[in-house]
Structure 1
Amino acid sequence: MAPAASPAMTRRVHPLKSLNPYQGSRTIKVRVMSKGRRRTYSNARGEGFYFNVKLTDEDGTQIQATMFNEAARKFYDKLEMGKVYYISRGTLKVANKLFKIVQNDYEMILNENSEVEEAGNEATFVPETKFNFVPIDMLGPHVNGKELVDVIGVVQSVSHTMSIRRKSNNEIIPKRDITIADETKKTVVVSLWNEHATTVGQKLLDTADQSPIVAMKSLKVGDFQGLSLSTIRRSIVKLNPEIPEAKKLRSWFDSEGKSSSMDFVGSGAAASSKNGSRSMYSDRVFLSHFNGNPSLGEDKAAFFSVRAYVSFIKPDQMMWYRACKTCNKKVAEVVGPGYWCEECQKNDEGCSLRYIMVVKVSGPSGEAWLSAFNKEAEHIIGCPADELNQLKSQENEENPYQLKLKQATWAPHLFWVSVAQHEYMGKKRQKITVRGVAPVDFAAESRFLLEEISKQKAS
């Protein structure tokens, strides 16, 4: 006698594309592609809360499902990103075009009587997220564009959660910044918002010392600090995904990448975009522009590019700080071996040195003092802070530390800088911070100057 069929084997599943509001309840088999956070609402019928998820079936059709109040309470913890479920006893309605997050004429409403059951071993029949990755060094043309991008990278650092107040409605929302790198040897900062910050973001922080791989879909490319990425409501963030691109990236990082010097993607001229956003060759000013505008950056930071020579580096300044290897925040020495990180709330046997220094730069119109941090300072000095520290400890007649600083002076650079007002000793002072630095490409510089001459003639 043949064994009885299991419920999963006899269950009849309907494709999403066959559903419409005029049918009875149908069972669907779907994967959770994204999950929103619980939000509150208030209208004429009262107050409550809700959340929604984006679902896809094996045909690739997508639908948004929304749950209110009791249903939201019942299913919020049960529905997990990436897992596959059988869902039944839901109702369909015509999707509101203003709020829908997928291309579907309908959306699904689940109530407290709806049924949600994890599919378990049958999850392989529903496709995983499909990515179309853009290399980090190719993100420039997408700055401030309408198209969203997919990226994959090795996590270099993870911040703790920050609370940001939204200007539009005064709502407090969580944010977390991570820095990732890929085989182009470029890094980029990705801001994780809302659930991405508190869920997968926390997992990234917990495993940051293992340099995890993260794949992200549907990110917005902005021009903050030259170039940055941020999640939106429909973004998908996957930790250590089982995809060929992740395996290839892991192999590269373990064999070569972890010992390579990385550059911030916004620090080169490639950070220009097709729609005219900022780059190393836009918003160009002379150094006299800063001295002649003492109130520059008073309301908010202003960004400019400037060509200048590093003319002096004070050798006796505090040029670096001891940093946590996980979050890059300052650490303190403890009794006995090791260092304590207040941010990560943990003790570590070792630490790294990260630059925090000032340099004087000079140009045809004057000079200015610039603050430079780790990656930008590495470009200026020509070596990591740990290496410069070793040179400083070598006391001999040649004085390799002083020689290294001397070699870094009178070299031309393109600087991408921010200008802001900071209060010091009760007085506001202008602070110019290096956000990106690149060597002068004389061919590109010549083209830039010719364009400027043409503009002057035309005016």
Structure 2
Amino acid sequence: MTGKEVTVTLWGVEAEKFDSSGQPVVAIKGARLSDFGGRSLSALFSSTVMVNPDIFEAFRLRAWYDQGGYALNSQSLTQTRSLTSGSAMNWKTLSDVKNEHMGHGEKAEYFSCVATVVYMRKENCLYQACPSSGCNKKVIDQQNGMYRCEKCNKEFPNFCYRLLLSVSSTHKKYHEHQTFSDFCSDHANLADIWDNQWVTCFQETAEVLLGHSAEELGQLRETDEAAFNEVFHKTNFTTHIFKNRVKLETYNDESRVKVTVMDILPVDHREYSRRLLSNIQKLAR
């Protein structure tokens, strides 16, 4: 009703079952907000998506839309995310990132690429975290049915699983690692036609990439190891648009470029092909 519109990305089962016929009212709880190259929403696997919910706000919005709201010239908050907007997306090949020494300056740099997942390490990708909102600290199993969080200085009867596809051996705090390479060895390897790159995926992007929530993966690891392994196997050789942050980081006098995935989008192959053709025409001129 404010005259704004925004793009929402649905994944997995939510995408498969979604029916847009009749222009339904949609309510989403727990969506992820991204402002990388424009505002957008992503319905994670932990999000709740309701179509035509039986609530007052939905009826109010429906009435507004049917009585003339549909004719409003709305303003998109997601225009700069268009695949045809090369400058806004800062498209790079993985070899460009290395050849141009991106991330070596004082500030982090951002780039987008179309790449394929060629390998993901599943070892130590999950850890038992504090259930307090916003904490995410690894808890200590007290072996008595309770889990202690040193940060909150409390014990809890439960924990929540957290995904972190970036640490090679343990999920300890940075100062507990002996070398920077131990702290930063990444667990997802992307490749395009020119090069490959190890990247880090935190909880939200890891859930999107794997197609499962951290809680689902935690349960699978405990009850069905074969199904757990299959999740990672199916992720290999899938292609996506990756929006990344790149920065040279130093720890214990060791430096390396760290690439962190900020957002993952599906590839619109029609728009992607148009962009490639446009680039070919520019080069030909």
The normalised TM-score by structure 1 is: 0.40
Query: Structure 1 423/360 Cα, relative in aligned 2: closer, same or farther at 3 Å?
Result: same
Greater helix share, structure number? 2
Query: Structure 1 132/339 Cα, relative in aligned 2: closer, same or farther at 3 Å?
Result: farther
Identity value in percent:
22
Tell me how far apart the structure 2 counterparts of residues 275 and 307 of structure 1 sit (CA, whole Å). Answer: 14
Alignment-derived partner of residue 246 in structure 2:
419
Alignment-derived partner of residue 339 in structure 1:
147
Which structure exhibits the higher relative contact order, with contacts defined as CA atoms closer than 8 Å and separated by 6 or more residues? 2
Tell me how far apart the structure 2 counterparts of residues 346 and 338 of structure 1 sit (CA, whole Å). Answer: 10
Greater strand share, structure number? 1
Equivalence map 1:34-433=2 (5 Å):
132=2, 134=4, 137=7, 183=28, 186-188=31-33, 223=35, 225-227=36-38, 248=57, 271-273=78-80, 282-294=89-101, 296-316=103-123, 318-325=124-131, 326-333=133-140, 335=142, 336-341=144-149, 346-357=154-165, 358-394=187-223, 399-433=226-260
Task: Give the CA deviation at 1:276.
Answer: 11
Q: Which amino acid aligns with 2:201?
A: A
1:434 maps onto 2:261 in alignment: yes
What are the Cα deviations for residues 228-284 of structure 1, in whole angstroms up to 9, with x where unaligned?
A: 69xxxxxxxxxxxxxxxx9637xxxxxxxxxxxxxxxxxxxx844399998897211
Tell me how far apart the structure 1 counterparts of residues 271 and 251 of structure 2 sit (CA, whole Å). Answer: 39
CA-based RMSD of the aligned residues comes to 3.7
Alignment-derived partner of residue 184 in structure 2:
none
**SS where residue 183 of structure 1 aligns?**
strand
Task: Give the CA deviation at 1:382.
Answer: 1.4
Tell me how far apart the structure 2 counterparts of residues 280 and 184 of structure 1 sit (CA, whole Å). Answer: 32
- 2:276 corresponds to which of 414, 431, 449: 449
User: 1:327, 1:344 within 8 Å by CA — same for their partners in 2?
Assistant: no
User: 1:136, 1:187 within 8 Å by CA — same for their partners in 2?
Assistant: no
Task: Give the CA deviation at 1:389.
Answer: 2.5
Query: Structure 1 384/296 Cα, relative in aligned 2: closer, same or farther at 3 Å?
Result: same
Tell me how far apart the structure 2 counterparts of residues 330 and 136 of structure 1 sit (CA, whole Å). Answer: 33
Q: Which amino acid aligns with 2:7?
A: D
- Unpaired segments ≥5 residues, structure 2: 9-26, 41-54, 59-76, 166-186
What are the Cα deviations for residues 64-117 of structure 1, in whole angstroms up to 9, with x where unaligned?
A: xxxxxxxxxxxxxxxxxxxxxxxxxxxxxxxxxxxxxxxxxxxxxxxxxxxxxx
Query: Structure 1 433/373 Cα, relative in aligned 2: closer, same or farther at 3 Å?
Result: same
**SS where residue 229 of structure 2 aligns?**
helix
User: 1:372, 1:433 within 8 Å by CA — same for their partners in 2?
Assistant: yes
Query: Structure 1 301/272 Cα, relative in aligned 2: closer, same or farther at 3 Å?
Result: farther
Task: Give the CA deviation at 1:339.
Answer: 3.4
Task: Give the CA deviation at 1:337.
Answer: 3.2
User: 2:80, 2:89 within 8 Å by CA — same for their partners in 1?
Assistant: no
Structure exhibiting the larger radius of gyration computed from Cα positions: 1
Q: Which moved more, 1:375-384 or 1:325-334?
A: 325-334
